[in-house]
Amino acid sequence: MNANKILLVEDNPDDEALTIRAFRKSNISNEIVVARDGVEALDMLYGTGPYAEAGPIWPQVVLLDLNLPKLDGLEVLRRIREDERRKSMAVVVLTSSKEEQDMVTGYELGANSYIRKPVDFEQFVDAARQLGLYWLVLNQYPDGHPSISSG
């Protein structure tokens, strides 16, 4: 069962540690699974490559950086939205990109939300708390949705 997992797709170890620390400081105890590039994220979501034996994961929310090695975040988002079973998966772009076009393209591809990483840690903790409250507590999925079942 993968319910309540968070998939963090982040290649920068400092941003990864900061994100996890911010979630923990906000009392968000969900398991956080980390993919460090776009290919690894898709392998985890589809249970392919090195994750074939473990099978696919169905996180409650995907936190997706855009500037990733191997396959960028916008392409990861595009592939998730093209998949009939995963197109309703919650994907939040969480990035340091300040490019307006990245935001426009992210929403055009079906991002549920677009959050620029705050530079200040306390602001980041507050953003993590609000993000967790919304996507992990308040947001509701219909019965049988893959993000709340074994997938």
DSSP string, the chain: --TT-EEEE---HHHHHHHHHHHHHTT--S-EEEESSHHHHHHHHHT-GGGTTT-----SEEEE-SS-SSS-HHHHHHHHHHSTTTTTS-EEEEE----HHHHHHHHHTT-SEEEEPPSSHHHHHHHHHHHHIIIIII----TT-GGGS--
Residue 115 domain-assigned?
A: yes
38-92: pLDDT as tens digits: 999 999 999 999 999 999 999 988 999 999 999 999 999 999 999 999 988 999 9
Residue 118 domain-assigned?
A: yes
Residue 145 domain-assigned?
A: no
The CATH number covering residue 128 comes to 3.40.50.2300
**Total domain count for the chain?**
1
- What is the domain extent for residue 74? 5-135
Residue 143 domain-assigned?
A: no
- Determine what percent of the chain is predicted with pLDDT higher than 90: 48
pTM: 0.85
Residue 112 domain-assigned?
A: yes
Residue 11 domain-assigned?
A: yes
